[in-house]
Amino acid sequence: MVQARITLDVRDEFVVAGIHGEIDLFNVRSISDSLVDATSNVVKALLLDLSSVTYLDSAGLKLLFELARRLEPRRQRMGVVVPEGSLIGRIVRLSNIAEIIPVMSTVDEGLSWVSRPRPL
Amino acid sequence: MFESKATVVDCRVDSRVDQGFAPKRRNGPRRPMSRGRPQRVSVHPRRWTLRTRLSLGVIALLVLLMLLTLASYRRVFRDRREAELENSVIVARTLSNAVTAFTRDVEHTLLAVALALEAQEEPVSQKENGAYLREVFVRSGVLRAIFITDKHGRLIASDSGTDLGRDLSSRPYMQSLANGARTVWSDLLIGIQTGQVTVAHGRTIRAPDGTVRGYFVAAFFPHRVLERIPVTIPPDARVLVVDRRGSVLYTSDPRPSLGTVDLAGESDVQRALSGQPVVVRSGRGTQPDDIRYGAVVPVAEVGWALSFTRPVARLEAQLRGEMARQAAGVVGVMILGGVLVGFVIHRLTSPLMALAETAAAIADGQRPTLPPLNDPPEVARLSEGMRAMSEAVAEREDALREALRTQEQIYRLTAKINRAADPQDIFAEALDALETTAGVQRASILLLEGAAMRFKAWRGLSDEYRAAVEGHSPWPADATDPHPILVPDVRTAPELEPLRGAIAQEGIRSLAFVPIAYNRRLIGKFMLYKDVIHVYTPEEINLVETIAGNVAAGIERHRTAERVARAERGQRFLAEASSVLSASLDYEATLRRIARLSVPALADWCLIHIVEHGTVRHLEAAHTDRQVEERLKAFAAGVPLDPNNPTGPTMFAIKTQRTLLIPEVTEAYLRTVTKEERVVRFAMDLGVRSFLAVPLIARGETLGAILFATSTLNRNFDAEDVELAEELGRRAALAVDNARLFEQQRTVAETLQHSLLPSPLPDFYGVQLATRYIPGGRGVDVGGDWYDVFDLANGQIGMVIGDVVGRGIEAAALMGQARNALRAYAFDAAAPHLVVERLNALLVRDHHATMVTLLYVVFDPSTRMLRLVSAGHLPPLLIEPDAAPRYVEGGRGLPLGVAPRASYSESTMSLSPGATVLLYTDGLVDRRTESLDAAMDRLLTVASETYDNNAEAMLDRILSSMLDSSAEDDVAVVAFRPLHVGNDALNLRLPARPEVLARARHILRQWFDEKHIPRETASEIIVAVGEAAANVVTHAYGAAEGEIDIQMTAAAGEISVMVRDFGRWRSSPGGGGLGCAMMRAFMDSVEIQHHETGTVVRMRKQLSVLHVD
């Protein structure tokens, strides 16, 4: 059973990865691998769109932390888009991940974040 | 066996027949071949005996003789009669001639007298001529009277001188004279005075001038004339003289009164009077019964006739008497001859009969004493010959009997040898035969083994002697056509010098070596021993050679049979080994069984070593003796083979991949192949005689080796064993290789198949599901059957049962592809018929020449509607609690992979709670022993009796009823039924694995939907429960399998959740705290309790007042 699908929007310098479906302990590894694969060395930023995620558990949250930790040494930025007030938004904000990576409410917001130059 | 016996009897009979002295029996079972031919009633045609023949011959001869005699007497009688007649004629003529001579004499006398008278000058007168006349008268003696008349007939002179002047002119003869007759003979005259018959002769006396001077007459008595004829007339004869008139002048028979008899009327007389002599064969005499024969002849010149006759009666009587005498003589001769012949016959045939009896007795096989027959010499000679023959026969019969007896012995020997199951039996029979036929009591039989003669059987020999001479052979081992060697006296045989001591010790004086040869090839020998000097006769040696030939044939036959039997045993062994090898794919077990099978069929013990990961490992040992086997196993396991020493048979076979045959294992050999004393000791203890090691090679790789060994004393491995062992090795290696390959393949296939079947089954809220997959076939042929149950995006449940036609890894792989493809097509809850059509298109495009049947069912729990599409699959069975089970037809289409554009339709039906849909593959109903229809009918019957509230139990019962040991196909079954909804509580028990978490959430979501719990609240609870469950999955069981229980109740505006496991947490729950934080964030209370038996998480959440259901 397919729990989640990933749509990749590869722009010039960044990738917008949309996750559809559920993220749980079971498929978090494969999602992680897919996202790492999608974020090649030339990419400067990964924008993770969780708007279409219907379920996210603590393993999924750990995925976000893990991704951020892995991209950091490569000087690749990562942002998360999650609608404010949704269950997923609440879960994400519950994790205080915003202390590490920006959490935005819409994709547009995310895109504008991406296009901003990286602070030195 | 009986036939052959009968043949012997026939042989005997026939041989006797051939010898030519068998009696020709009239009856009896012989000559069976004559059936169908004209049957001879008897060998002898019925014939007269010699005695009869001789008797009859003699009788016939005598009769013939008699007839001939009679015939000749007839002729003799006739001739006698004729002779009598001729005699009569001769007598008659003689008499007639005598009468004629008389009359001539009378005439001459008268003529002389007359001439004298004519010349007389004086006239005739008494005086002148009386005395002269008187003188003539006296001198003649027959005259009656003599007188002269004058020319007038007056008497002028007479002898008596009386009645001169008497006129006699009236006398007839005087008248004839007066009429001018010169002379005249008168007819019968009756004397005037005497009354006697008289005849007169007158003559005219003429004067010189020719005138008649007177007449001269002489009268005489005819009977005196005739009485003077010097012819003896038989007394019964009768002489008659008649004159010209037929009057009787004379008769010798005094009875008829002459003169009164006139015979002028008699034709015979007339003919005689006319001048013809007449023979009278049968004429009437004077008496009526007086029949006479004789002759009537004329009397010349005087015209009389004379008859001479004799009575026929006399002649006949004479002849009859003669004949009677002759006949008596003949009969006498005959009787004498008969007696003589009878005697001869008797003297001849009696001994012949006696001899015949004797011959018959001889022919009957008796030995009769011949009767003493010394006479006659011919019979004596015959008897002598017979005796000689009898003796010869007896002798030959004895010889033949002896030969037959010998032959019978030989035959019996042959038969026994042919029957003998054991060479020892053959030897025993041969020794018996030597004793009974050749009279050899001490003998032995040795057979060539290799180049040495080995004792096989013996009589009257000591062990010491045999030990001393064993191996000795007077012929080279490769001798062809060896001949017997006779040693009449061992003391004079230099070639036996080395053995002389042993021979003398054994008390042997004479020896005979008789070769046992087959096809002129030496295979053994007979030894004949005598304690005296003995020269064997050629017959004896012949006999022994014959026995030797039989033994040779028997041995060869036995050896051939042994070879054949061995080959058969080998084939059987191989066949058995093959079946053992193919019976199991567990190669270790298989090799173990091969070891067991090889002992004792091939060897007395064997060892199997296998090569695994480059090392040689002892696998199995077998020994004919189970106790020894245990020791062997322990020893072999305890003494690993030295991989650096390739000289040992097993290591040699493994290293060189070649078979090693050590026909004779010696201690020296053992020491060359191992340095370990205990190995040598152990092998010696086992009594190893022969080694045979074969490698197990498959695809060039040595898998191991089998070491076979014999330990019995009389058996070494040979080339045939090598062949057999190698074949076994090849097959075993192949089986091991196959088994290893199979194990690999099976692992792959099973892994593949099991990875493809959903296990465990997702738990769907509101439905009960039971599934089974029963692999049917053996080996790597996993089937292409599968089932699948999954939930669709819209909360519906998809169920698939399918069957990829074919078996094996390919089928399993295709099944996996079909299964995944269908799942993918079905994921977004596309219409079932479209899903099937897409799958069909995929299979047609990507997998030519495959066919898949499939049943795709989608169930909507909210409406309890079932949509069904069948691609050539068996119809599902609907089992309802209160109705008869039935097959759900409809929604049927072609199997997948067949037609590119096949379209499929759906069939829709509503399922009431409890109604069960049974999906199955053909393995459930496909029996070899049963038609599909029958099996499906049976399934109906089974289903009608097996309804159970528990779907699992029901499925078990259906399967146990439907399947038996003959099931070979895989069976996949899915039983599915909607449940009554309405319970407040949700009970889930799931395997503690990551992949079930999504399903658990799905079920929870459905439950909340049923309870009309707001989505937001439900999602929060689900997050919390999901975290609890994920914790269990992550921490409770480690790598082990385990289960997770989720119970949820909605009561009094509150949702209570319990998540429980039965394991031990490896780290503190909510590791990292994030999970726990989330649970606490979304639930009103969270309580975690760790027990020995597991961990329980209890959570509560108050529902908003707006949502009291």
Give the closest residue to A94 by CA, choosing from A57, A50, A53: A57
Nearest to A57 among B999, B1030, B1072 (CB): B1030
| Whether A24 and B1022 lie within 8 Å, measured CB to CB | no
B1096 CB-near residues (< 8 Å, 6+ apart)? B1058, B1059, B1060, B1088, B1089
Q: How far apart are CA B858 and CA B602, in angstroms?
A: 64
| Whether B1030 and A59 lie within 8 Å, measured CB to CB | yes
User: What would you measure as the largest C-alpha separation in chain B, in angstroms?
Assistant: 257
pLDDT digits (tens, 9 = 90+) for B989-1005: 788 888 788 878 888 88
User: Once rounded to an integer, what is the mean pLDDT over residues A17-31?
Assistant: 89
| pLDDT for residue B855 | 94
| pLDDT for residue B12 | 40
| pLDDT for residue B254 | 64
pLDDT digits (tens, 9 = 90+) for B525-538: 889 988 888 888 88
The band of A47, judged by pLDDT with boundaries at 50, 70 and 90, is: very high
| pLDDT for residue B1100 | 92
Query: Closest residue of B to A54, CA-based?
Result: B1019
| pLDDT for residue A50 | 93
The band of B396, judged by pLDDT with boundaries at 50, 70 and 90, is: confident
pLDDT digits (tens, 9 = 90+) for B350-366: 777 787 788 788 777 77
Res. B140: pLDDT tops 80? no
| Whether B1078 and A91 lie within 8 Å, measured CB to CB | yes
Res. B135: pLDDT tops 90? no
Chain A residues inside the 8 Å CB shell of B824: 2
Q: Cβ atoms within 10 A of the Cβ of B485, count? A: 15
The band of B323, judged by pLDDT with boundaries at 50, 70 and 90, is: confident
Q: How far apart are CA B1059 and CA B784, in angstroms?
A: 38
Q: What strands lie across the sheet with B1054-1061, from one edge to the other?
A: B986-991, B1043-1051, B1054-1061, B1095-1102, B1085-1090
The chain-wide mean pLDDT, for chain B, equals 80
* Strand pairing report for B892-893 and B865-871: parallel
| Whether A22 and B998 lie within 8 Å, measured CB to CB | yes
pLDDT digits (tens, 9 = 90+) for B436-460: 877 888 899 988 877 788 888 898 8
- Which of B696-703's residues contact partners 24+ apart within 8 Å by CB, and which partners? B696/B610, B696/B729, B696/B732, B696/B733, B696/B736, B697/B657, B697/B729, B697/B730, B697/B733, B698/B733, B698/B734, B698/B736, B698/B737, B699/B737, B702/B611, B702/B654, B702/B657, B703/B610, B703/B611, B703/B733, B703/B736, B703/B737
Nearest to A94 among B823, B994, B1077 (CB): B1077
Res. B706: pLDDT tops 70? yes
Phi first, then psi: give them for residue B286, nearest 5 degrees. Answer: -75, -30
Q: How far apart are CA B515 and CA B503, in angstroms?
A: 19
The lowest-confidence range among A90-104, B490-504, B760-774, B1064-1078 is B1064-1078
Q: Which residues face B280 on adjacent strands?
A: B294
The band of B45, judged by pLDDT with boundaries at 50, 70 and 90, is: low
The chain-wide mean pLDDT, for chain A, equals 86
Res. B38: pLDDT tops 50? no
Res. B18: pLDDT tops 70? no
| Whether B1023 and A3 lie within 8 Å, measured CB to CB | no
| pLDDT for residue B250 | 81
| pLDDT for residue A118 | 63
| Contact predicate B828/B858, CB 8 Å | no
Omega before B376 cis (within 30°)? yes
CB contacts < 8 A, A to B, total 61
B914 CB-near residues (< 8 Å, 6+ apart)? B880, B881, B949, B977, B978, B979, B980
| Contact predicate B799/B972, CB 8 Å | no
The band of B920, judged by pLDDT with boundaries at 50, 70 and 90, is: very high
Chain A residues inside the 8 Å CB shell of B999: 1
Q: What is the ipTM of this complex?
A: 0.92
Which tokens go with B997?
């978490």
Res. B876: pLDDT tops 90? yes
Query: pTM for the full model?
Result: 0.37
| Contact predicate A22/B1001, CB 8 Å | yes
Res. B46: pLDDT tops 80? no
Nearest to B997 among A26, A56, A95 (CB): A26
The one-letter code for the residue type at B528 is: L
| pLDDT for residue B868 | 94
Res. B786: pLDDT tops 80? yes
Phi first, then psi: give them for residue B971, nearest 5 degrees. Answer: -130, 125
| pLDDT for residue B41 | 41
Q: CB of A2 within 8 Å of any CB in chain B?
A: yes
Q: What percent of chain B has pLDDT over 90?
A: 6
B395 CB-near residues (< 8 Å, 6+ apart)? none
User: Once rounded to an integer, what is the mean pLDDT over residues B609-615?
Assistant: 84
Res. B303: pLDDT tops 90? no
| pLDDT for residue B1107 | 46
Res. B15: pLDDT tops 60? no
Res. B4: pLDDT tops 70? no
Q: Cβ atoms within 10 A of the Cβ of B863, count? A: 10
Query: DSSP string spanning B318-342?
Result: HHHHHHHHHHHHHHHHHHHHHHHHH
Q: CB of A99 within 8 Å of any CB in chain B?
A: no
Query: B741: exposed, middle or buried (C-beta count within 10 Å: 0-12, 13-18, 19+)?
Result: middle
Res. B819: pLDDT tops 80? yes
Query: Which residue matches tokens 């400067």?
Result: A44
What's the gap between Cα B135 and its chain centre?
135
Query: Which residue matches tokens 């690999």?
Result: B744
Q: A65 to chain B nearest CA, in Å?
A: 12
Helix/strand/coil for B214: strand
| Whether A26 and B1074 lie within 8 Å, measured CB to CB | no
pLDDT digits (tens, 9 = 90+) for B588-606: 888 888 888 888 888 888 9
Q: How far apart are CA B339 and CA B346, in angstroms?
A: 10
Res. B931: pLDDT tops 50? yes
Helix/strand/coil for B409: helix
Q: A41 to chain B nearest CA, in Å?
A: 31
| pLDDT for residue B698 | 83
| Whether B994 and A2 lie within 8 Å, measured CB to CB | no
The band of B908, judged by pLDDT with boundaries at 50, 70 and 90, is: very high
Q: What separation in angstroms does the CA of B781 have from each of B787, B805, B810, B1098? A: 18, 12, 10, 49
Residues A2-18: b if buried by 16+ CB within 10 A, e if exposed: ebbebeeeeeeebbbbb
pLDDT digits (tens, 9 = 90+) for B376-393: 777 788 778 877 877 887
